[in-house]
């Protein structure tokens, strides 16, 4: 079905950013615009989600050019779910940044760039053209370079160099892959590619091309052995920025892998083994990395890597149940990881440091906030009935069915390491008394009440979303099941895009 | 370095280059040209002026900071993208006036997209170059 309004969540952030550019250096106006724009984007995303759930796949031919020739935008259930989650996370982060960010950063255009980033994310989820996907990836990484370097501290620049070098390399691989695909099939429309690629005789060439995509998206989503840029750069920018990065940017890579490997390249044995090896090592190395870190944000960065492995493993198993697990984990992960970095931001405000050796006694001083945080931590670990628990069951089940015991072991290691690391962090940061001789730099207590509330509210919103995912798991499982059906059987997608032009 | 030859030449070249950039902008849709090239030529005109007379005097003839052109240009482009939605057409569809306008020719919404690009390019190039030359 054709619907010309599916790009609403993209346009709303574009216009918010433009109006904020006009209000350059008026930080108060920009804050209001940012929260308002994000709220409007969230409402549009909700509307789009319910429309797609009701009517099935919606498409839009940009500039009225018919499907295989023009650029087509497709809203299937996977896309709109991710747009919805991005909008929720973006809304929370924009509230948090309105109080949790220094005025200096706002003066240099934090808000417009943040909205360009969200625009790029929404666009990447909605596009049905592989080159357009690349363009939106570029929008995302350019916006993220600016956000990462904004403020210009030495540590930030150091992190940004690593981040930039690896991401440019990833884009190069991605672009090369697209070029080869275009060379052998003569089309860039993903639905059209799905049909044309079956007629190509040279299967080896297609296999090699798919490796280009694995490397490109692998760097972006931080899998073994391409992940080291992530832990060495994500702890440098301010927490609001790190929350957007940690929650959303790596997940775009997972989305792209899901899309490309369900639609264009159907994974063969070699690809699946490759993905499985990567997944197992990602989980194990990411988990062990988290074990030895004492800085809260570095620890979270390694946990991101560890949990990316779960999702890659689901793609490697490539069956309906496994993809259900991957999609469910993706939904859970976006909410929780965004929240983790916001929590790190709050801890920093409460104590002025993120070094676990210098932290302590938070539970005694702020029991209510600590309990809210505990909810999120429990969910991350995957204590039933919270959200992290359900997707793991699906992944375990499928790994046993397919007798992938290495993956089962990795899943167990990953889960236990996560639990140990989080329990250790809870003990160090919240339960143990403040270490002797450490002066507490509490910037939270002297704040006005509304600022305190605005700082806690985004965490509460995301925690509520996590709670909803966990307690109303039946509905989320239902959505994940529909998505995995769409991924396993792509005929409806292809028909919706190409219609009678096949 | 002030050179009388360059200063005199610039006095004539600045309007000619601006006119040429506008010509490129209008020619853009079906022939080589368009907002990006037009914008580059226009900013080169101002860069030439700043070589001949110094950056301060170029800032003076521009009156507004070039950075303010960026949101204006982005706004024009973005509006021309979404305006077709009001007519029930997909975004970015070219809407054309039925009668050609003398001298300029056919005018459509894609011209406004190009106009936006034109402003953004001038804004970005001049902002970067002025920042470098004022710091140096």
Select the residue of B67, B85, B94 nearest A4 (Cβ to Cβ): B85
- Please tell me the predicted confidence (pLDDT) of residue A501: 64
Q: What whole-number distance in Å separates Cα of residue B29 and Cα of residue B23? A: 12
A21 and B CB contact within 8 Å: yes
Mind spelling out the 3-state secondary structure of B70-122? HHHHHHHHHHHHHHHHHCCCCCCCCCECCCCECCCECCEHHHHHHHHHHHHHH
Global pTM? 0.93
* DSSP-assigned letters across all residues of A203-214: HHHHHHHHHHHH
Question: What is the percent of chain A with per-residue pLDDT over 70, rounded to a whole number?
Answer: 99
- Please tell me the predicted confidence (pLDDT) of residue B67: 87
Q: Does the pLDDT value for residue A41 go beyond 90? A: yes
Contacts of A169 (CB under 8 A, 6+ apart): A219
Tell me the mean pLDDT in the region B1-24.
89
Question: What is the percent of chain B with per-residue pLDDT over 70, rounded to a whole number?
Answer: 99
Choose, out of A4, A113, A119, the residue to mutate when testing the contact with B (most B CBs < 10 Å).
A4
Span A442-468, pLDDT tens digits: 777 788 888 888 889 999 999 999 999
Q: Does the pLDDT value for residue A27 go beyond 90? A: no
Measured between CA atoms, how close is B69 to chain A, in angstroms? 9
- Please tell me the predicted confidence (pLDDT) of residue A153: 81
Measured between beta carbons, which residues in chain A are less than 8 angstroms from residue B77?
none
Question: What is the percent of chain B with per-residue pLDDT over 90, rounded to a whole number?
Answer: 38
Paired sense of beta strands A72-75 and A58-61, if any: antiparallel
Select the residue of A11, A22, A64 nearest B71 (Cβ to Cβ): A22
B75/A18 CB distance under 8 A: yes
A60/B90 CB distance under 8 A: yes
Span B15-65, pLDDT tens digits: 999 999 999 998 877 788 888 999 999 999 999 998 888 888 888 888 888
Query: Could you state, in order of their start, the residue ranges of all structural domains in chain B?
Result: 4-135
Q: What whole-number distance in Å separates Cα of residue A217 and Cα of residue A120? A: 16
A24/B67 CB distance under 8 A: yes
**What is the number of other CB atoms lying within 10 angstroms of the CB of residue A28?**
11
Mean pLDDT rounded to a whole number for chain A: 89
Nearest to A260 by CA among A130, A138, A366: A130
Which of left, alpha, beta for A103 (phi over 0: left; psi -120 to 50: alpha)?
alpha
Q: Does the pLDDT value for residue B1 go beyond 70? A: no
- Please tell me the predicted confidence (pLDDT) of residue A117: 95
Span A264-301, pLDDT tens digits: 888 888 889 999 999 999 999 999 988 888 888 888 99
Q: Which residue in chain A has the smallest CA separation from B68?
A: A22
Per the model's pLDDT, the better-predicted residue between A204 and B105 turns out to be A204
Choose, out of B65, B68, B74, B91, the residue to mutate when testing the contact with A (most A CBs < 10 Å).
B91
- Grade residue B136 by pLDDT with cuts at 50, 70 and 90: low
Torsions phi, psi of A244, nearest 5? -65, -45
Whether ipTM > 0.95 holds is no
Q: Do residues A213 and A260 lie in contact, with contact meaning Cβ atoms separated by under 8 Å? A: yes
Q: Residue B124: is it exposed, middle or buried by C-beta count within 10 angstroms (0-12/13-18/19+)? A: middle
Select the residue of A18, A22, A62 nearest B92 (Cβ to Cβ): A62
A21/B94 CB distance under 8 A: no
Percentage helix, strand, coil, to 5, in chain A?
75, 5, 20
Tell me the mean pLDDT in the region A102-119.
89
Per the model's pLDDT, the better-predicted residue between A308 and A441 turns out to be A308
- Please tell me the predicted confidence (pLDDT) of residue A316: 92
Question: What is the percent of chain A with per-residue pLDDT over 90, rounded to a whole number?
Answer: 47
- Please tell me the predicted confidence (pLDDT) of residue A502: 62
Q: What whole-number distance in Å separates Cα of residue A47 and Cα of residue A61? A: 20
Q: Does the pLDDT value for residue A183 go beyond 80? A: yes
Tell me the mean pLDDT in the region A136-144.
93
- Please tell me the predicted confidence (pLDDT) of residue B62: 85
Q: What whole-number distance in Å separates Cα of residue A395 and Cα of residue A307? A: 12
Q: Does the pLDDT value for residue A11 go beyond 90? A: yes
A5/B85 CB distance under 8 A: yes
Q: Does the pLDDT value for residue A438 go beyond 90? A: no
- Please tell me the predicted confidence (pLDDT) of residue A283: 93
- Please tell me the predicted confidence (pLDDT) of residue A78: 93
Q: Do residues A66 and B95 lie in contact, with contact meaning Cβ atoms separated by under 8 Å? A: no
Measured between beta carbons, which residues in chain A are less than 8 angstroms from residue B80?
none
Tell me the mean pLDDT in the region A221-225.
85
- Please tell me the predicted confidence (pLDDT) of residue A389: 85
Structure tokens at A484: 């995995």
Nearest to A190 by CA among A255, A239, A145, A238: A255
Q: Does the pLDDT value for residue B100 go beyond 80? A: no
Structure tokens at B114: 């190009």
Per the model's pLDDT, the better-predicted residue between A496 and B101 turns out to be A496
């Amino acid at each position: 079905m054709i619907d010309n309004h599916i790009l609403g969540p993209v346009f709303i952030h574009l216009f918010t950013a433009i109006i904020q550019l006009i209000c350059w250096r008026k930080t108060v106006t920009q804050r209001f615009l940012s929260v308002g724009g994000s709220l409007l984007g969230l409402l549009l995303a909700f509307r789009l989600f319910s429309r797609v759930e009701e009517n099935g796949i919606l498409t839009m031919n940009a500039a009225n050019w018919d499907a295989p020739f023009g650029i087509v935008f497709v809203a299937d259930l996977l896309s709109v779910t991710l747009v919805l989650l991005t909008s929720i996370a973006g809304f929370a982060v924009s509230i948090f940044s309105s109080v949790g960010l220094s005025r200096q950063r706002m003066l240099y255009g934090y808000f417009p760039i943040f909205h360009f980033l969200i625009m790029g994310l929404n666009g990447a989820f909605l596009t049905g053209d592989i080159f357009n996907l690349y363009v939106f990836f570029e929008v995302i990484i350019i916006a993220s370079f600016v956000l990462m370097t904004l403020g210009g501290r030495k540590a930030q620049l150091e992190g940004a160099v690593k981040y930039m070098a690896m991401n440019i390399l990833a884009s190069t691989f991605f672009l090369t892959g697209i070029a080869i695909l275009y060379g052998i099939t003569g089309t860039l429309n993903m639905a059209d590619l799905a049909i044309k690629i079956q007629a190509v005789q040279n299967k080896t060439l297609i296999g090699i091309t798919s490796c280009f995509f694995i490397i490109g998206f692998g760097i972006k989503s931080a899998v073994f052995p391409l992940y080291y840029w992530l832990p060495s750069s994500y702890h440098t920018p301010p927490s609001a920025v790190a929350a957007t990065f940690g929650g959303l940017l790596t997940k775009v890579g997972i989305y792209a892998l899901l899309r490309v490997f369900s639609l264009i390249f159907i994974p063969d044995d070699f690809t699946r083994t490759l993905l499985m090896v990567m997944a197992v090592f990602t989980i194990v190395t990411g988990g062990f990395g988290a074990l030895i870190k004492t800085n809260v944000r570095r620890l979270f960065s390694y946990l991101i890597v560890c949990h990316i492995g779960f999702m890659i493993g689901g793609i490697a198993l490539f069956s309906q149940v496994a993809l259900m697990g991957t999609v469910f984990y993706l939904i859970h992960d976006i909410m929780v990881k965004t929240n983790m970095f916001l929590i790190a931001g709050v801890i920093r405000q409460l104590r002025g440091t993120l070094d676990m050796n210098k932290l302590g006694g938070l539970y005694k001083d702020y029991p209510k906030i600590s309990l809210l945080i505990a909810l999120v931590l429990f969910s991350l670990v995957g204590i039933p009935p919270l959200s992290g628990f359900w997707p793991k069951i699906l992944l375990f089940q499928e790994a046993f069915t397919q007798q992938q015991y290495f993956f089962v072991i990795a899943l167990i290691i990953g889960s236990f390491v996560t639990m140990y690391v989080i329990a250790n962090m809870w003990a160090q940061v919240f339960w143990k008394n403040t270490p002797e001789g450490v002066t507490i730099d509490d910037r939270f207590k002297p704040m006005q009440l509304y600022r305190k509330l605005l700082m806690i509210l985004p965490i509460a919103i995301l925690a509520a979303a996590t709670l909803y995912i966990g307690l109303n798991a039946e509905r989320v499982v239902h959505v994940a099941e529909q998505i995995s059906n769409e991924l396993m059987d792509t005929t409806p997608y292809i028909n919706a895009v190409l219609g009678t032009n096949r | 370095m002030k050179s009388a030859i360059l200063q005199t030449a610039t006095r004539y070249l600045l309007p000619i280059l601006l006119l040429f950039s506008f010509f490129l902008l209008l020619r853009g849709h079906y022939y080589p040209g368009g907002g990006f090239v037009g914008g580059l030529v226009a900013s080169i005109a101002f860069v030439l002026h700043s070589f001949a007379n110094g950056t301060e005097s170029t800032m003076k003839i521009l009156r507004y900071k070039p950075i303010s052109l960026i949101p204006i240009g982005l706004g024009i482009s973005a509006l021309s993208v979404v305006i077709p939605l009001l007519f029930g057409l997909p975004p970015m569809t070219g809407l054309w006036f039925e009668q050609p306008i003398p001298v300029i020719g056919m005018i459509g919404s894609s011209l406004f997209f190009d106009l936006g690009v034109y402003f953004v390019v001038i804004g970005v190039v001049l902002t970067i170059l002025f920042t470098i030359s004022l710091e140096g």
